[in-house]
């Protein structure tokens, strides 16, 4: 083990601590506060393992778990871009690519390259594993919004039409979870948590 390698690895570990300070719009299920990126990443990574039986053929739930643990690391620099923020989403890719270069560049080349490749796979959503991971990343806020009776949806004026494309992405990555999300959204509209 080279001292420089360990120094770079631990520098990245300390950088990861900053993810705890990146606040998301989604509320915790108890409505007490907004979650942070580190909590979100952990939550969806655990979902990848717990819901593995719903992964599509060809998906690797353990790889999806690793993918989800690092999928939002770029938000240390780029910030969290709310899914319904059109202006923010226009510059998201550019901001996140620059962040990936800096952050994964902290690590030794072999590790930084491997994590950057895993992040890119997630972003491109071409593999069954990436689509499964993305489905979970889209499902978790829907679950939390249902649990909080529209805690993020209501104040931001999100309606079922804005959530429908997310449900389709869930269905694309995990059909059974997509069907569940569709039913949850329909019930959220029926209960008044989400506008029609």
Residue spans of the domains in the chain: they are 3-191
**What average pLDDT is seen over the chain?**
96
Tokens for 109, please give them.
């080349």
The angle at the Cα of 35, spanning 29 to 38, to the nearest 5 degrees, equals 125
Distance CA 180, CA 154 (A): 21
Percent of all residues in the chain with a pLDDT value above 70, rounded to a whole number: 99
Tokens for 192, please give them.
């008044």
Go through 93-102 and write b for each residue having 16 or more CB atoms within 10 A of its CB, e for each that does not: eebbbebbee
Distance CA 14, CA 123 (A): 24
Global pTM reads 0.95
pLDDT band at 83 (very low <50, low <70, confident <90, very high): confident
- Inform me whether the pLDDT recorded for 93 exceeds 80: yes
pLDDT tens digits for 96-142?
999 999 999 999 999 999 999 999 999 999 999 999 999 999 999 99
176-178-179-183 Cα dihedral, nearest 10 degrees = 140
- Inform me whether the pLDDT recorded for 89 exceeds 90: no
Q: What is the pLDDT of residue 81?
A: 86
Percent of all residues in the chain with a pLDDT value above 90, rounded to a whole number: 93
> What homologous superfamily does CATH list for 3-191?
Hypothetical protein af1432 (1.10.3210.10)
Q: What is the mean pLDDT of residues 46-59?
A: 98
Distance CA 27, CA 146 (A): 10
């Amino acid at each position: 083990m080279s001292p420089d390698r360990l120094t770079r690895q631990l520098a990245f570990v300390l950088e990861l601590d900053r993810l705890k300070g990146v606040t998301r719009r989604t509320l915790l299920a108890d409505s007490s506060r907004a979650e942070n990126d580190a909590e979100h990443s952990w939550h969806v990574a655990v979902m990848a393992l717990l819901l593995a039986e719903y992964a599509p053929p060809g998906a690797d739930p353990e790889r999806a778990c690793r993918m989800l643990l690092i999928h939002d690391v770029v938000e240390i620099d780029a910030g969290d871009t709310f899914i319904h923020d059109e202006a923010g989403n226009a510059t998201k890719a550019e901001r996140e690519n620059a962040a990936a270069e800096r952050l994964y560049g902290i690590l030794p080349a072999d590790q930084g390259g491997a994590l950057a490749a895993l992040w890119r796979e997630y972003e491109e959503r071409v593999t069954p594993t990436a689509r499964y991971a993305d489905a979970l990343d889209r499902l978790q806020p829907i679950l939390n919004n249902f649990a909080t009776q529209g805690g993020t949806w209501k104040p931001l004026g999100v309606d079922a039409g804005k959530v429908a494309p997310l449900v389709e992405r869930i269905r694309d990555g995990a059909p059974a979870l997509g069907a569940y999300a569709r039913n949850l959204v329909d019930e959220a509209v029926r209960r008044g948590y989400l506008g029609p």
